[in-house]
Amino acid sequence: MTEDIGYIIPIGGAEEKVSDAAILRRFTEVAGGANARIAIIPTASRLKETAGRYTEIFEGFGVAEAFSLPYETRADCKRPDWLERLQTATAVFMTGGNQLRLSTLLGGTPVADLIRERNATDGLHVAGTSAGASFMAEHMIAYGNEGPTPRSDMVTLTPGLGLTHRAIIDQHFGQRNRLGRLMTALAYNPRPIGIGLDEDTAAFIDHERMLTVVGSGAITVVDPADLEFSSMDSAQRHAAVCLINMRIHILVAGCTYDMVSRQAGSGDLP
């Protein structure tokens, strides 16, 4: 049943953690509030204090348990005791850092399989910030250049965790001028939508694949469904790419986007 599908919550990075931690508080509510058991995966980060910082934050919100699963090798991803701990979680939170550490260490392991399976059938809610957000979709942006104009070789894609095939996700979007690389990624095969997350901004995607914006920035949704022409197949190396009839929405807190019908809504905005 669709009600057993967990939330997917990509966050654009640099989310507020102290004064008005709207995103992390909302994630805690979704995870179960006082009954939440949150597994923190700090694999993307090389900073030892990362897991402890988020553990402290979630415990401060009054969750039942927040614990770290610090996968450092692929062998760690087969540890029965850690898999049992992951099985008890109501939600997973993947930190920022380097998304290739997530894909190369977790990809194809029992950890990735269990997260994917439980999100799809057992109501496990999965959030990721920055690198953790990029890793969530079927196709992940591994590298890319800054700039507003799509170019033929502007981005490198690799397989991601595969929680959704409906989107390609990018983060630190407005702050790092990443529109061009997201549009380039979509131009390679214009099937999914692009979700560009500003810092301190999150997409809460529910079991019906309705996206709701939370946070202080904006989400840029790029929809190639009505794309009429692309020059990607003939563009020279480094050349700009022509894309005709690519639709773009800019959504702020409270706005919605139906990822199935591809319809945007203004929510409670006047």
Give residue-wise pLDDT tens across range 214-244.
999 999 999 999 999 999 999 999 999 999 9
Task: Quote the domain boundaries for residue 198.
Answer: 2-259
pLDDT of 41 above 50: yes
**15 Cβ contact partners less than 8 Å away, ≥ 6 residues apart:** 21, 23, 24, 129, 199, 200, 202, 215
Tally of structural domains, the chain: 1
178: burial class by Cβ within 10 Å (0-12, 13-18, 19+)?
buried
Within-domain flag for 114: yes
Within-domain flag for 268: no
Confidence category of residue 35, pLDDT binned at 50, 70, 90: very high
Within-domain flag for 107: yes
Confidence category of residue 1, pLDDT binned at 50, 70, 90: very low
Within-domain flag for 72: yes
Within-domain flag for 24: yes
Within-domain flag for 267: no
Instruction: Show which residues are catalytic.
Output: 130, 172, 199
Residue 27: which CATH number? 3.40.50.880
Within-domain flag for 265: no
Within-domain flag for 191: yes
**What are the pLDDT digits (tens) for 139-172?**
999 999 999 999 999 999 999 999 999 999 999 9
Give which of 69, 49, 143 is closest to 109, Cα–Cα. 69
